[in-house]
Amino acid sequence: MPSATYIDPQGTSHTLEGDDGVSLMDLAVKNGVPGIVAECGGNMNCASCHVYIDDAWTGRVGSPSDDEVEMLEGAMADFLPNSRLSCQVPLSADLDGVLVTVAPEQF
């Protein structure tokens, strides 16, 4: 079972295991990771699951779609080159051990 590590806005690390295909957002919400609000439930309508992918993982995670970029550009926290909506990143064996930092502000 692949794992993901989240660094929440307070700097606390949360390492979680999840099934292949579960989004990083769903895994975080299910396990109570602080800072992942997920207001729209993963429908890419709110940017309240904004995370920063660790630089070592950005190539494997891939780039956001144009629609995702548009949503991230309106997010409260800075839109950086490694920004992603965690609802759009499915966990997989290729991402086992992925490290993400939860954006400091979601609204």
In this prediction, residue 72 carries a pLDDT of: 95
Domain containing residue 91 = 3-102
Is 33 part of any domain? yes
Q: How many CB atoms neighbour CB 25 within 10 A?
A: 26
Pick the closest to residue 24 from 46, 43, 42, 44 (CA basis): 42
DSSP 8-state symbol, 44:
S
Extended strands (E) in 37-104: 50-53, 83-85, 98-102
Give the chain's domain count. 1
Is 107 part of any domain? no
Q: Which amino acid is at 22?
A: V
* pTM of the predicted model as reported, rounded to 2 decimal places: 0.96
Give the domain CATH number at 98.
3.10.20.30
Per residue in 11-43, pLDDT (tens digit) is: 999 999 999 999 999 999 999 999 999 999 999
